[in-house]
Amino acid sequence: MRHKIDHSRGPCLSTSICRKILRLSFPFEVLSRDLKLIFASNLIGAFGDGLFAYLLPYYVKETLKASPVEVGILYAVTSLMAAVTLFFAGMFADKYDRKKIMIAGWIAWVPAPLIFSLAQNWVQMLPGMILWGFWLGGPTTTAYIVTSADESKLTLTFTVLSSSWSFGYIFSPALGGYLAGTVGMQKVFYLAFIFYASASLILLLISSQHGISPKQIPSEKRLLFLKLLKTRKLAVLSIFFASIMFVLMMFRPFIPQFLADTYHYGDFEIGLLGSISFFGSAVLGILLGRLGDKWKKAYALAASMIICSLSLILILISGNFYILVVAFFLTGASYITWSLMSAIIGPLAPESMRARWISIPQTVTMFSSFLAPYVGGVLYNVSPYYPFIFAIAASFLLALMASHKVLEV
């Protein structure tokens, strides 16, 4: 909603300030009705997710007495299920109504927090982590967005929709941390269940969308899916994005535990810093989205990795809360890499097999993250600093590769 300016009370402080205020709402103008509904669904679902997701590794270790390696195993299982379901989601999304597949993806998540609330040890968390890994919305949502969005504003569209998750997470980790300390994590899991169910219901309102059948495309323009799998472009994108996700998933589950073990912060402080990181994700996502549309998507991705590295450096060098506030704001850049990758992948896919083509890099990316939390757990056992030191170096290297035409193949 645009701010109203009452000129009868005198001129604005400055024309430039007025213009900045007016531009605050502009990113949401790139969204169509259906994309706004997806934004709302993501926002509500993310709020429920944020109530427990940021604290979950800490909860599993402290309450269920899991070791860092066992925490890594749980997240590895989730990544494995995500990798498997991404590929099948791509197949279904080109053949059936994408709206229904997106709804099914949310429905699969609905029981997960209830299972977490009943778990008495880390092994009993496994069924919930498996359901939590069902990611039918990955290539399906990407294909839906690419088909619906303005191509000239595609990067901004993806990052704005990604910011819906970030906005949902801004207050929920802090609230979840507060509730966990006062009424217990079980109540937090119940609230998450309600928000997940609400997110599913909102998607009932979006329009149906079907992929283009191969029969609708002239025979000379048809491409065989198996032939596409052998293309160099798809292979390079898959390997590069897989490397990025491996680095992110290697350290991300251990940030809350690092704050507790190294700097002795409690539930509320950890949740509050998590909220700050997602606020940073929302702000940085919109800025990098504009950068990607104005210059190159690869530059936006490189910038996100550099910012991620800088944030981890700050986390390692100081436990001062105010420095950590800055660090966690910058850490938000790590949460928008998936949307930036989707903005790069999506337009390259042929219309007749858009979701399946998109699912290949996404599936390979998720398979790469299967072992990442386990590797992170092993490194964390040796020293809590090791996963982050490795991630800092790797992120800088990946940013350098992205900015030197690795993605222009």
Kindly state the average pLDDT of the residues 209-213: 72
pTM of the model: 0.71
| pLDDT for position 314 | 95
pLDDT at position 177 over 90? no
In a domain, 18, yes or no: no
| pLDDT for position 388 | 93
Nearest one of 265, 329, 7, 32 to 157, comparing CA atoms: 32
Residue 400 sits at the vertex; the CA angle it makes with 397 and 401, to the nearest 5 degrees, is: 90
In a domain, 239, yes or no: yes
In a domain, 376, yes or no: no
Domain tally, the chain: 1
Dihedral, CA of residue 176, residue 181, residue 186 and residue 187, to nearest 10: -60
User: In this structure, how many other beta carbons lie within 10 angstroms of the beta carbon of residue 65?
Assistant: 10
User: Which is more confident, 385 or 15?
Assistant: 385
How far is residue 358 CA from its own chain's centroid?
16
| pLDDT for position 328 | 93
| pLDDT for position 130 | 93
Report percent pLDDT > 90 for the chain: 25
In a domain, 38, yes or no: yes
277 pLDDT band (50/70/90 cuts)?
confident
pLDDT digits 0-9 by tens, 290-318 = 887 777 888 888 888 999 999 999 999 99
Cβ(18)–Cβ(140) below 8 Å: no
pLDDT digits 0-9 by tens, 373-406 = 788 888 998 999 999 999 999 999 988 888 775 5
| pLDDT for position 349 | 66
In a domain, 129, yes or no: yes
Which stretch, 65-79, 258-272, 312-326, has highest mean pLDDT? Answer: 312-326
Encode burial over 217-240: b for 16+ CB neighbours within 10 A, e otherwise. eeeeeeeebeebeeeeebeebbeb
| pLDDT for position 4 | 36
pLDDT at position 203 over 80? yes
pLDDT at position 78 over 80? yes
User: In this structure, how many other beta carbons lie within 10 angstroms of the beta carbon of residue 373?
Assistant: 30
Q: Measured between alpha carbons, how far is 258 from 254 in angstroms, rounded to an integer?
A: 6
352 pLDDT band (50/70/90 cuts)?
low
User: What 8-state DSSP symbol labels residue 264?
Assistant: -
The residue whose two tokens read 């472009």 is 233
In a domain, 3, yes or no: no
User: In this structure, how many other beta carbons lie within 10 angstroms of the beta carbon of residue 71?
Assistant: 27
In a domain, 276, yes or no: yes
Q: Measured between alpha carbons, how far is 339 from 121 in angstroms, rounded to an integer?
A: 34
| pLDDT for position 38 | 92
What's the domain range around 77?
30-211+224-371+381-403
Kindly state the average pLDDT of the residues 347-352: 69
CATH code, 170? 1.20.1250.20
- AA identity, residue 244: I
In a domain, 16, yes or no: no
| pLDDT for position 215 | 53
Residue 144 structure tokens:
């839906």
pLDDT at position 157 over 50? yes
